[in-house]
């Protein structure tokens, strides 16, 4: 028998990683699943440290990190870079990457190519795609290619224009029933998780009861199997108008601005840096340095 250490099989979860299959058990036991977005290595690490179960590298990055007005313009390259950073920081949480608008709408093959890049090049465990209808086929194609898929229905920001803006969905019986049908179709296509955004609580509860896969709510009430919030909303960093479903757990904008103002003031007054922030050199080297400066022409003034 070979003494070579065993290497993990390709595609095996990294050591310490939450197994994706544990999410079903959490739903069955009624344990709430905690998800948050993150966009860089430190936030991935902090979410991990806080015991968060799932990290979404959301295309909300377009708005909260990259300064776009909507999620539509962000590109594969931008989200791949952010996802790579998050997967370097997060150990236990499963990292789910949003496929950006335009990277999966054209065909199943396009969706699979995009999904493979996020798993292979950026280390994501899964990808998220928005919508029902044609997205169901995309989800099935990704799952058949071995890529776990989180679906996202209700308010789908990538197609907010077609929905008439950023507003709650499924508020009529017909629209709510359509959401139930979409949810069941996405589960049948093999999705392991479903995000429900901005839908009435009664609709989210009915979908959660109808599915065996977990649901994660954002503006969908307390009847889901877990919740997700956007990092910048939760921590009070984003300047834009927060939707009503956001709860701010900190107001870091104020803390950050106060620290930056103090720094600027100290740089301008000369209070920073102090001696303890600077490097000294041995006395004999300093003397030799001054001698060297003095013998140089033109002579530099020594302070």
Residues that bind ligand KIV (CB under 6 A): 37, 56, 58-60, 98, 152, 195, 197, 218, 228, 230
Of 95 and 218, nearer to ligand KIV (C-beta) is 218
**Closest approach of ligand KIV to the CB of residue 270, in Å:** 43
Could you say which of 125, 130, 187, 197 is catalytic?
A: 197
Question: Given the complex with ligand KIV, which of 248 and 260 has the nearer CB atom?
Answer: 248
Report yes or no: 34 and 53 within 8 Å, Cβ to Cβ: yes
Cβ proximity to ligand KIV, 141 vs 229, nearer residue = 229
Smallest distance, ligand KIV to C-beta of residue 199, A: 12
Inter-CA distances, 5 with 2, 11, 12, 16, 269, Å = 8, 18, 16, 18, 59
Closest contact distance (angstroms) between CB of 42 and ligand KIV is 18
Is there a contact between 139 and 159 (Cβ–Cβ < 8 Å)? no
- Residue closer to ligand KIV by CB (options 59, 182) is 59
User: Cβ of residue 268: shortest distance to ligand KIV, in angstroms?
Assistant: 38
Q: Give min distance, CB of 255 to ligand KIV, in A.
A: 23
Q: Which of 212, 161, 164, 168 is nearest to 190 (CA)?
A: 212
* 138 vs 152, beta carbon nearer ligand KIV: 152
CB 150, CB 130: distance < 8 Å: no
Count other C-beta atoms under 10 Å from residue 182's C-beta: 21
Q: Nearest to ligand KIV by Cβ — which residue?
A: 58
197 is catalytic: yes
Q: Which is nearer to ligand KIV, 144 or 163 (CB)?
A: 163
Sign, CA torsion 80/85/86/92: positive
Note whether 212 and 206 are within 8 A (CB). no
CB of 197 to ligand KIV, least distance (A): 6
Q: Which amino acids are annotated catalytic?
A: 197
């Amino acid at each position: 028998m070979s003494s070579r250490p065993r290497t993990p099989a390709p595609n095996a979860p990294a050591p310490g990683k939450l197994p994706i299959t544990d999410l079903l058990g959490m739903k069955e036991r009624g344990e709430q699943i905690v998800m948050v977005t993150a966009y860089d290595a430190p936030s991935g690490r902090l979410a991990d440290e806080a015991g968060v179960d799932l990290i979404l590298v959301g295309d909300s990055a377009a708005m909260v990190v990259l300064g776009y007005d909507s999620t539509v313009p962000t590109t594969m390259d931008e989200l791949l870079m952010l996802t790579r950073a998050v997967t370097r920081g997060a150990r236990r949480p499963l990292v789910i990457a949003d496929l950006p608008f335009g990277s999966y709408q054209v065909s199943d093959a396009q969706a699979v190519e995009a999904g493979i890049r996020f798993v292979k090049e950026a280390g994501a465990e899964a990808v998220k795609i928005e919508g029902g209808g044609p997205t169901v086929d995309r989800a099935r194609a990704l799952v058949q290619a071995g890529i776990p898929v989180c679906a996202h229905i209700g308010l789908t920001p990538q197609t907010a224009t077609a929905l008439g803006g950023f507003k709650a969905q499924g508020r009529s019986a017909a629209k709510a029933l359509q959401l139930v049908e979409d949810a069941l179709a996405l589960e049948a296509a093999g999705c392991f998780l479903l995000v429900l955004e901005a839908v009435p609580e009664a609709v989210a509860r009915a979908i959660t009861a109808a599915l065996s896969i977990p649901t994660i709510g954002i503006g969908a009430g307390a009847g889901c199997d877990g919740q997700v919030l956007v990092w910048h909303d939760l921590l009070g960093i984003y300047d834009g108008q927060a939707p009503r479903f956001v709860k701010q757990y900190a107001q870091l904008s104020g803390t950050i601005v106060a620290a930056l103002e103090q720094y600027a003031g100290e740089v301008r007054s000369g209070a920073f840096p102090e001696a303890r922030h600077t490097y000294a050199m041995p006395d004999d080297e300093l003397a030799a340095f001054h001698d060297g400066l003095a013998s140089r022409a033109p002579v530099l003034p020594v302070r």
